[in-house]
Amino acid sequence: MKEHNWIKIALTPFSWVYGLITNLRNLGYDHQLFASKKASQFVISIGNLTVGGTGKTPVTEYLTSLFSGNAPTAILSRGYGRQTRGFIEAGSASTPAEIGDEPMQYFLKFNPDVLVAVCENRFVGAENIALSAPERKLLLLDDAFQHRAIARDVNLLLNDFQRPFYQDLPFPAGRLRETRNGAKRADAIIVTKAPLTLAGHLREDITRAIRQFSKPETPIFFSSLEYGAPKSYAGGDISLKKVKMAAGIANPLPFAAYLRARFDVTDEVVFRDHHNYTPADVEELIKNLKNDTFVVTTEKDMVKLKPLVEASGAAGKFAYIPVKVSFGSDTGRFHEWIFKQTGHLFQAER
């Protein structure tokens, strides 16, 4: 622990430099030295200050489910980790290597109701969507808080309950992509991965800590992750007792804790975030796997693993746990706020 602290102290001056650079960049946008172009659609951005998983994918899926039944919706992502460049619209032949694992998950879950596309330049991507699908009036930007070249109508900032931005530093001493004052650009802040039952005094403490860096009027909402029934890679629900965890996500700790609390976890295999799985990985995961034990992954990992697992003939030994966001007691307040922002444009059910 002491060694870690010394490393952090040694890197802190570099964080100051990095933070200064990001502050200058943001000032350039604030004072219109750099242009933020307005897209044709109504734009809601979902992002964070922190590198790694703060729950953007479940929140994006929550908003998609909330709006897509009544407002023609598109999701635009950078497609992190893909092996391609430029604008690509997801289709039936798309693969995670082509569009990225999270966009692939969106496509598999919401096609054909929602258009899913990737482009590293979000404004170019938005205009391509406007040309090919002008009926898509709502655009959800996945992970675009720092991508200021495209203007947004609603800017949502996520704050991980377990790794709050207000206790962190910019890279390299910390995990922040910019300084904590970036929270002032948020129209609302969502605390993600909070316990389902969070004591009132803790909510107040967290709210007070966030308010040091946000605008005073910015609403703050609390949300939790809800894990669903295990699903077999072969299809359908499955009953599990003994499991071997495999996860290639930014923060596997909540997933691991969930599995430990409900199943007999015999082993935990952690890959780096956005890991590109190989047949050798599948072979290693099922090596010496007992008949009563299943390999259990996240839904995000399933998207990339499933074709390899099916090719190996081991789909019956793999399962995944779907996850979704719950706003709990904040549900009504969040819905009222988000529908107020969208105004008369979207007739979403309340």
Q: Which residues are annotated as a binding site for ATP?
A: 50-57
Alpha-carbon dihedral 304, 109, 228, 220, rounded to 10 degrees:
110
The DSSP line for 32-60 is TSS--BPPSSEEEEEEESBSS-SSHHHHH
3-state secondary structure of 127: helix
In angstroms, what CA-CA distances link 59 with 22, 110, 208? 26, 14, 23
Rounded Cα–Cα distance for residues 203 and 72 (Å): 35
Binding-site annotation: residue ranges: 50-57
Cα maximum dimension of the chain: 63
The DSSP line for 280-291 is HHHHHHHTT--T
Check if the beta carbon of residue 139 is closer than 8 Å to that of residue 39: yes
Check if the beta carbon of residue 174 is closer than 8 Å to that of residue 168: yes
* Burial profile 319-342: b = 16 or more Cβ within 10 angstroms, e = fewer: bbbbbebbbbebeeebeeebbeeb
Phi-psi domain of 274 (left: phi exceeds 0; alpha: psi -120 through 50; beta: other)? left
Residue 37 β-bridge partners? 150
Q: Which helix (H) or strand (E) holds 207?
A: helix 200-211
